[in-house]
């Protein structure tokens, strides 16, 4: 979901571009944020 961050798309727009449903895009976004948070905490 890097297009959401770098291009500034909404979840719905990013889902449409990727050809996935909005709920799936939301799950990907939540997972990516958690992954990044854990990586930053591990230092």
Tell me if residue 14 falls in helix, strand or coil. helix
- Cβ atoms of 1 and 17 closer than 8 Å: no
Question: Domain containing 15: what range?
Answer: 2-42
pTM of the model: 0.77
1-30 pLDDT, tens digit each: 678 878 889 999 999 999 999 999 999 999
What pLDDT, on a 0 to 100 scale, did the predictor assign at position 3? 82
- What is the count of structural domains for the chain? 1
Confidence of residue 42 (pLDDT cuts 50, 70, 90): confident
Tell me the CA distances in angstroms from 16 to 2, 3, 12, 30, 41, one per residue in order: 14, 11, 6, 17, 32
What pLDDT, on a 0 to 100 scale, did the predictor assign at position 35? 93
Q: Is the dihedral of CA 39, 42, 27, 8 positive or negative?
A: negative
């Amino acid at each position: 979901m890097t297009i959401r961050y770098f291009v500034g798309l909404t979840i719905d727009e990013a889902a449409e571009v990727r050809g996935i449903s909005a709920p799936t895009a939301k799950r990907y976004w939540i997972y990516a944020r958690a992954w990044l948070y854990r990586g930053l905490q591990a230092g």
